[in-house]
């Protein structure tokens, strides 16, 4: 690997390289060597920016949780507009059509990573927890518009939507569900 070559936006390039490895080869193939090889840089670059590989992975997951928060803001801005089913379908398809499924698998498979993430995500599975909360917040907001019944249990609906949709997308090597299939599922769960 080349040394002495400046790597602009090193953190982002390393995160993007890790995503490519995750998507192509799965969580078991994600090593510091695989990431730096994919990024085209020396292994020391990763350790210059992160204390160790689990620290790198924790920062990667936290960065991707930030993306979930951005999706949550977009979903909340859609309150009262379009159809509830379409808004949820778009959010869920975007979430699970991304690298989120691979990151969830990575988090589940690495005890050290989960331990590091507990300070930021004290319960649940990182990314799933935040996405579930985003859906519950959206459903509560839609209740104020009367588009979700006031007596609907938004906690149960949110967990059902996030957990079941994750299962639809969980096999990273299989056929992904289409947006229409996700929409049909969402429509079968969401009341009103």
Same domain, 112 and 32: no
Give yes or no: residues 118 and 32 share one domain.
no
Q: 29 and 99: one domain?
A: no
pLDDT of residue 40: 92
Which pLDDT score is estimated for 5?
44
Residue 175 is predicted with a pLDDT of 85
Give CA angle at 57 (54, 62), nearest 5°. Answer: 125
- Contact at 8 Å (CB) between 92 and 186? yes
With contact defined as beta carbons under 8 Å apart, do 90 and 42 qualify? no
The total of structural domains in the chain comes to: 2
Three-state SS letters, the chain: CCCCCCCCCHHHHHHHHHHHHHHHHCHHHCCHHHHHHHHCCCHHHHHHHCCCHHHHHHHHHHHHHHHHHHHHHHHHHCCCCCCHHHHHHHHHHHHHCCCHHHHHHHHHHCHHHHHHHCCCCCCCCCCHHHHHHHHHHHHHHHHHCCCCCCCCCHHHHHHHHHHHHHHHHCCCCCCCCCHHHHHHHHHHHCCC
* Dist. CA 116–CA 63, nearest whole Å: 14
User: Does residue 96 share a domain with residue 35?
Assistant: no
Task: Give the pLDDT confidence of 153-165 residue by residue, as tens digits.
Answer: 999 999 999 999 9
Q: Which CATH number fits the domain that encloses residue 37?
A: 1.10.10.60
Average pLDDT, the chain: 90
pLDDT in the model for residue 8: 62
Same domain, 81 and 132: yes
> Do both 18 and 111 map to the same domain?
no
* Residue 38 shares a structural domain with residue 119: no
> What is the C-alpha separation between 173 and 165, in angstroms, rounded?
16
* The pLDDT of residue 1: 42
Q: Which residues of the chain register pLDDT less than 70? A: 1-8
Q: Please tell me the distance from the alpha carbon of residue 9 to that of residue 114, in angstroms, as a whole number.
A: 26
Which tokens in the block code for residue 55? 């620290």
pLDDT score at 99: 84
């Amino acid at each position: 690997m080349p040394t002495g070559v400046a790597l602009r936006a090193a953190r982002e390039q390393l995160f993007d390289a890790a995503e490519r490895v995750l998507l192509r080869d799965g969580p078991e193939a994600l090593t510091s060597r695989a990431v730096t090889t994919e990024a085209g840089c020396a292994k020391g670059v990763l350790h210059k920016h992160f204390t160790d590989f689990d620290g790198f992975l924790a920062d990667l997951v936290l960065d991707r949780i930030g993306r979930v928060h951005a999706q949550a803001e977009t979903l909340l801005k859609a309150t009262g507009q379009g159809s509830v089913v379409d808004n949820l379908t778009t959010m869920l398809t975007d979430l699970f059509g991304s690298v989120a499924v691979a990151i969830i698998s990575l988090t589940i498979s690495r005890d050290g990573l989960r331990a590091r993430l507990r300070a930021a995500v004290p319960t649940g599975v990182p990314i799933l927890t935040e996405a579930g909360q985003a859906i519950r917040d959206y459903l509560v907001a839609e209740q104020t518009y009367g588009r979700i019944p006031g007596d609907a249990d938004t906690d149960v609906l949110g967990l059902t939507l996030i957990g079941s949709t994750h299962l639809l997308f969980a096999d990273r090597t299989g056929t992904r569900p289409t947006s229409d299939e996700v929409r049909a599922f969402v429509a079968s769960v969401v009341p009103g």
